[in-house]
Amino acid sequence: MSSLSRLLPALGLSLLLLPGCYSRSDMKTEEGTATKTPSDVPPTEVPGAVPVRTPEPATEAATTQPLQAVNVFLEVSGSMEGFMPKTGASGENTKFQQHVAQFLSEVNRTSAARQKLFYRIKERPYKDSYQAISGTVRSGIQQPAKSTDIPSVLDTLMTNYYQPGTVSVLISDFIYSPKNAGAIPYIKTDITDALTRSGAKSDMAVSVYGYTSDFRGTYYPALVASGKKTNCCDTEIPYYIWVVGPASAVRQFDAALLEQQPAKQAHFGVTYPQPGYSVLNKFQNKGSWYYGDAGASKRNADTYRVISVSEASAQQPVEFVVGLNLQGLPSQYRDVAYLKQNLKLQGVDTDAKLLDVFAATDQNRASSGPESKYTHFAKVRLTKAPKAARPLVLRLQDQRPAWVAQWTTKNDATPAPKTFALSSLLDGLEAQGGAEKKPIFEVPLTLQPAE
């Protein structure tokens, strides 16, 4: 048995331009033929002075309307047998079996999608039932595939299953294993080409969730020359769930079925509505300043965006806190360590600096003040009063999470909780979104002198 994605070196780089090991135009299944579906229509771009991810309107209909369909694909090649060993006399199972069986059940029962379809990926996807695919996870792979190929699978998902309101969910170890090391530099290119070969989708997004599980079976390293390992393993091995589809559908599926699960995360092209935010004038504030918004004294403190500074100096600095409601973002972007590193403050003609970013406490949430509405806070300090109204922007940069590098290896001959060339795989996802990396969100403020 070979692990996922064995490449044929004799075919050379030119083969990368071919559609893969099976047809893209017609997907044969054991129950019939799935016809090719039309591409999704690209969304209209929202103009703006600073390029940002185009968010979906945060309307109630957009958040409550079920997805049209969820297509779940489970890889059943030889490299996956150790995650799904055949049930022994002791009845023991792996973390993968427990987790994936529960996940499949949740997908099957969810009201977040109108239609749920299940497939086994061997040399090509085969349509399956929920009962059959759940049985495979619980009882083991009966007839494992010799090999499957990541670019061909992704190409097929984009060509045959990419539709508005639909996501494809791929469960695999994502071991990309060329037989010769000369193909390794092209992993990123292979992934990008596979995602765009059937036509670029401007709204395409992918969410990656990483897990580890005990593994009982034959271990196939990515580089064939390293040789397989039997009776493995003494360490846990990674596996992944990739969610592929239009950005709004991926975001909706993530929130409904994956956000509550503990997992490593990385998101590519997913868009999020601008978070709720406001300046808070009675929360850890210092110095001489007040709300400069029109009619500020006549309304609740939940949409204040203008800071009027009466006086500021090194001896008497101004400090104010911006409340941010990040509840609608994935946990990756709500993590305080990530925010401290990637939330940036940009201003014009000001020495304003971001002092700190911190999460709400139980005391904050129980408060009767406006701070109870927010999950996170950003504290800003300045020592020079503005001479005129000037923009100030808090912007969350989208950066590759640190776990990706930690889980990546260039040589997986020795089993470990790492995946061969994982960074290169995700480089391919990132490249399809274009050269410019857009912020997750930005919230504009205004600094102005007091009247």
Query: For 114-156, how does the pLDDT look when each residue is reduced to its tens digit (9 = 90+)?
Result: 999 999 998 788 999 999 999 999 998 888 877 678 888 999 9
| Terminal CA-CA length for the chain | 76
pLDDT digits (tens, 9 = 90+) for 52-103: 444 444 443 445 699 999 999 999 998 999 999 987 656 689 999 999 999 9
Please report which confidence band the pLDDT of residue 261 belongs to, taking 50, 70 and 90 as the band edges: confident
Please report which confidence band the pLDDT of residue 281 belongs to, taking 50, 70 and 90 as the band edges: confident
Percent residues over pLDDT 90 in the chain: 60
State the amino acid at position 117 in one-letter form.
L
Computed over every residue of the chain, the mean pLDDT equals 83
Cα separation, 116 vs 235, whole angstroms: 34
More confidently predicted of 426 and 223: 426
pLDDT, position 399 = 93
Phi/psi of residue 276, each to 5°? -65, 145
* pTM for this model (two decimals): 0.82
Region for residue 327 given its phi and psi (left: phi exceeds 0; alpha: psi -120 to 50; beta: otherwise): alpha
Residues 323 and 370 sit within 8 Å (Cβ to Cβ): yes
Q: Which residues pair with 277 in a beta bridge?
A: 324
Interacting residues of 339 by C-beta distance below 8 A, sequence separation 6+: 333, 357, 376, 396
Please report which confidence band the pLDDT of residue 48 belongs to, taking 50, 70 and 90 as the band edges: very low
* Element at 342 (helix H, strand E): helix 336-342
pLDDT, position 95 = 95
Residue 317 has which token pair?
A: 């600095």
pLDDT digits (tens, 9 = 90+) for 152-193: 899 999 999 999 999 999 999 999 876 666 778 889 999 999
Phi/psi of residue 127, each to 5°? -65, 140
Residues 124 and 241 sit within 8 Å (Cβ to Cβ): no
CA distances from 362 to 125, 356, 367 (A): 48, 19, 9
Exposure of 391 by Cβ count < 10 A (0-12 exposed, 13-18 middle, 19+ buried)?
middle
Exposure of 166 by Cβ count < 10 A (0-12 exposed, 13-18 middle, 19+ buried)?
buried
Cα separation, 327 vs 311, whole angstroms: 35
Residue 71 has which token pair?
A: 């297509």
CA torsion sign for 47, 53, 54, 59 is negative
pLDDT digits (tens, 9 = 90+) for 160-170: 999 999 999 99
